[in-house]
Structure 1
């Protein structure tokens, strides 16, 4: 039996919720992250995603490619891409419930296993810079996030249809005696948008209460 850690099997509560809202407590996890602004359809967003994966796989492949096994290392499936989404300060001044994609401010990230710390991250980052030079690598950060109490739900379908799912989640929160803290929210991408039809995309939506 394999000892490989697979988030789809061992962390279903956070990554494979049902298509109905639920209250969850999300503990602190470590991530590699990159920030950006504007529409996710722009090239920078794709470049950010590619850069993060180059670092994430650099860490995962340590034992095979560099014959290095960090203390506490265990085999694992690379975690899914996540994004925390907000709008810029100018858009907030005139916010009327609708959002233009060019007003987005986002931080895209990939969670890291427990054995990854800032030192290991720094070492791998330097290695990736040497093998695959990329100016965005200078902007990659290693951060810890503790989301705490949240409402989450699986959204199936187009990203543009997410507002209807958020309405369901907000109604659930209110019924349970909670209120959404802000319009900032997190998305966990379970599907590859390059390969899956928009109406079949699976995305975990989550906001703080």
Structure 2
């Protein structure tokens, strides 16, 4: 029987607790990525991105089990978020001004050739709307501060303010890179008050 790996429980940089801000070192990793902009609650680009990423991720999982003998739980959806004015996140929460990249982690034992073949397979069989926008890239974040937020996405503001304005400068650090969220709960099914989301921010010495 093939052992099924759960990356979010086996990798240290996917661990976080509510109310605890801590520093982690995140190694460079490979992701499936689709970009977009606008309010994720209303943008058709966002919905189409999700509906493109998951068929590829699940087809890749089955290919890994079949061809490599390594099964795994499809990792949770992740997102990079940014705006020309970062107050759009922490103060105004003006979602219409947000840009984003949705991500799904590719395990480090899966080679690029298998990923490319999987994308071609999904394009031929299902052809999701944004398959031609999907890309495979490495993301190097390095030192990050992160915490676990439990509750609605709209309640993240005070947590991010504490992270950005208190924790980071108090340790002689500055913000770098893009705000990163890891959705441990499926926001399509879990009610807002029960959602578990890792909030991550790359940092560097000030």
TM range (shorter): 0.7 to 0.9
* TM-score calculated relative to the size of structure 1: 0.87
Q: Any idea what the Cα deviations from partners look like across 1:105-163, whole Å, max 9, x if unmatched?
A: 10001001112232211111111111102231111100000110111000111111111
Cα RMSD for the two superposed structures: 2.2
Runs of 4+ displaced beyond 6 Å: 93-96
Give CA deviations for 1:182-202 in whole Å, capped at 9, x if unaligned.
Answer: 6x3000000011221111111
1:131 to 120, 125, 131: 125
- Say which of 175, 178, 191 aligns to 1:180: 175
In the TM superposition, 1:8-87 aligns within 5 A as 8-11=8-11, 13-19=12-18, 20-41=20-41, 42-62=43-63, 68-70=66-68, 73-87=69-83
Q: TM-score, normalised by structure 2?
A: 0.88
Unaligned runs of 5+ in 1: none
SS at match of 1:193: coil
- How far is the alpha carbon of 1:94 from its aligned partner? 9.7
CA distance in 2 between counterparts of 1:58 and 1:122 reads 11
Q: Which residue of 2 aligns with 1:207?
A: 201
CA distance in 2, matches of 1:181, 1:144: 17
- Counterparts of 2:117 and 2:70, CA distance in 1: 18
> Per-residue displacement from partner, 1:86-115 (whole Å, max 9, x unpaired)?
12x5xx499794242111110001001112
Following superposition, the deviation at residue 43 of structure 1 comes to: 2.5
Distance 1:208 1:93, change over 3 A: closer
Q: Distance in 2 between the 1:115 and 1:84 partners?
A: 24
Aligned residue pair count: 199
3-state DSSP class of the match of 1:192? coil
Structure 2, unpaired ranges of 5+: none
Q: Residues 13 and 25 of structure 2 are in contact (CA less than 8 Å); yes or no, is this contact kept in structure 1?
A: no
